[in-house]
Structure 1
Amino acid sequence: MKRVIQIDSVIQDSSTATVVVFDPRTGKMQFVPAVFMVKDGKTEATITRNTNSMYAIVQNKKTFDDMAGHWAQKDVELLASKMIINGTSDHSYTPEMQVTRAQFVAMLVRGLGLSTETLPAVFTDVAATQWYASKVGTAAKYGLVQGVSEGLFNPDEHITREQMVVILMKAVALVQGTAKTDVKATTQFADQDQLSDYARSALSEAVGKGLVHGKTETTFAPQDIATRAEAAVMIKQVLQFLKLIN
């Protein structure tokens, strides 16, 4: 569903403006997908979300000392300003740190603005007491993840670049409301023989839509463990493609 909030002023920098859902019981705010547009001297924020809630608009600019001059600085700080991703401390993002499967799913669920809730356990290795339990459960509910085998998710295992792409393309299908179509599994990458069979069509589709890029012009490195910088950039690309952020 889409809703519009109108502000009687111009927001010049949409990268620091964010629609949030406000929980009056806890006082906490959470990112909500929204696109800002200036019209007739006013700003319209168009919200895309699947639940009813209390919304507000906030402005927030987040920077990290260890992102200065980094190739992913702009994308990381955009998502951090919108409260989609967090640093490892107030002043550090640690861009080259490897990402676990649970961490990546949590980033994506926040970016999609999906409402999380306590759900029956889907995976036996995701304890209800873990910080990521509701995020993983929500991702499973919406078909974003299926686990590595029956009943197992391996939340603390590091996620590979090809695994990220598969999950992201499921997110694209979820938001667009269309089933994933068969795509001829070819790419321009010289190392495509390293791709797992289950990831071939997802990578082809992602490359065709301009959502992912290789580590070099000719290699994708599908089995490499993803870094926090790579995860942020891929999520940002998908959110912009889906028109969930400017």
Structure 2
Amino acid sequence: MKKRITTSIAAVAVMLSATIATQAFAAAPFSDISSLSSKAKIEALQQQGIIKGVSDTSFNPEDNLTAAQGISLIVRATQISLAAIDFSSAPTADGFYTKVNNDAWYAEDFVIAHYNGLDIPADIDPKAPLTKEQFTHYLVQALELTGQYPTIKMFIPIQDEKSITVDYQGTIQRALLYKIVSLDEAGNFDPTHVLTRAEAAAILYDARSFIDAHKDDVAPDPVEPETTA
């Protein structure tokens, strides 16, 4: 009997410890997003550990999204990784990008993006703001690594299509079909618009929701391992 009681107490202690730990690591709500229409999306991503604030309680939603922030968000949201890649030596970010310091907090995300085939230029400036077309292009590439998603073969007219970088037109069309981005009332995409952190979070939430909604319908397309010398 004594052994049973001891075991029960231990089990309760473990449960309490887990509860306390969960509460301790629960993210505090951001205090500067209460008036945003995307508030619920930002909070959901925060609770999932996908987005972080500039402090414990501040998100700075109107700040421009930097390339460093954007690439890191995309990697975390889509959960692409280096798991299927065999390395003879550890890769470094500065071996692929001229302006990414290997000691930077975002360096590993850039390495992951590179080895998963995201079309990120070697001279990208991590501190520079990302445009809507850039973020959408990288995000769709990462999203499509998570599964083979059926799309309706149709062309969506975009009024300012001529302003879109030619290499990005295909991914933007698919993003519209996936409904993770949208056109404005005039039918424009506004490709050169610099995204705010709040705008990027809203797009990212819709992308994550798309992945979750289809995870039981499609099997991930195996990534061909890339072997380094």
| TM-score of the pair, normalised by structure 2 | 0.71
Q: What is the letter of the counterpart of residue 130 of structure 2?
A: I
Q: What is the letter of the counterpart of residue 56 of structure 2?
A: D
- Is residue 133–residue 172 contact of structure 2 (8 Å, CA) maintained in 1? yes
Higher relative contact order (CA 8 A, sep 6+): 2
Match of 2:162 among 188, 193, 199: 193
Structure 1 CA distance, aligned partners of 2:32 and 2:115? 36
| 1:199-246 deviation line (CA, Å, top 9, x unaligned) | 111111111121111344522211011110111111111111111899
- Is residue 62–residue 81 contact of structure 1 (8 Å, CA) maintained in 2? no
2:61 aligns to what SS in structure 1? coil
RMSD over equivalenced CA pairs, Å: 3.1
Q: What is the letter of the counterpart of residue 75 of structure 2?
A: V
| 1:114-133 deviation line (CA, Å, top 9, x unaligned) | 44795232112211121111
Deviation above 4 Å: which 4+ runs of structure 1?
Answer: 115-118
Structure 2 CA distance, aligned partners of 1:196 and 1:126? 24
Structure 2 CA distance, aligned partners of 1:66 and 1:245? 32
Structure 2 residue 76 is the aligned partner of structure 1 residue 86: no
| 1:156-196 deviation line (CA, Å, top 9, x unaligned) | 22110001111111012211158x99x76x43432222111
Structure 2 CA distance, aligned partners of 1:244 and 1:142? 23
Equivalent residue number for residue 173 of structure 1: 144
Equivalent residue number for residue 110 of structure 2: 136
- Is residue 52–residue 59 contact of structure 2 (8 Å, CA) maintained in 1? yes
Structure 2 CA distance, aligned partners of 1:109 and 1:163? 15
- Is residue 239–residue 245 contact of structure 1 (8 Å, CA) maintained in 2? no
Point out the structure with the larger strand share.
1
Structure 2 CA distance, aligned partners of 1:138 and 1:201? 23
Per the TM alignment, residue 61 of structure 1 is displaced from its structure 2 partner at its CA by 5.6
Structure 2 residue 194 is the aligned partner of structure 1 residue 225: yes
Structure 2 residue 94 is the aligned partner of structure 1 residue 123: no
Amino-acid identity (%): 25
Of structures 1 and 2, the larger Rg is shown by: 2
Unaligned ranges ≥5, structure 2: 1-21, 84-89, 216-229
Unaligned ranges ≥5, structure 1: 1-55
Q: What is the letter of the counterpart of residue 73 of structure 2?
A: M
Equivalent residue number for residue 153 of structure 1: 124
- Is residue 190–residue 218 contact of structure 1 (8 Å, CA) maintained in 2? yes
Equivalent residue number for residue 220 of structure 2: none
Per the TM alignment, residue 79 of structure 1 is displaced from its structure 2 partner at its CA by 0.3
Match of 2:176 among 187, 192, 207: 207
- Is residue 28–residue 56 contact of structure 2 (8 Å, CA) maintained in 1? no
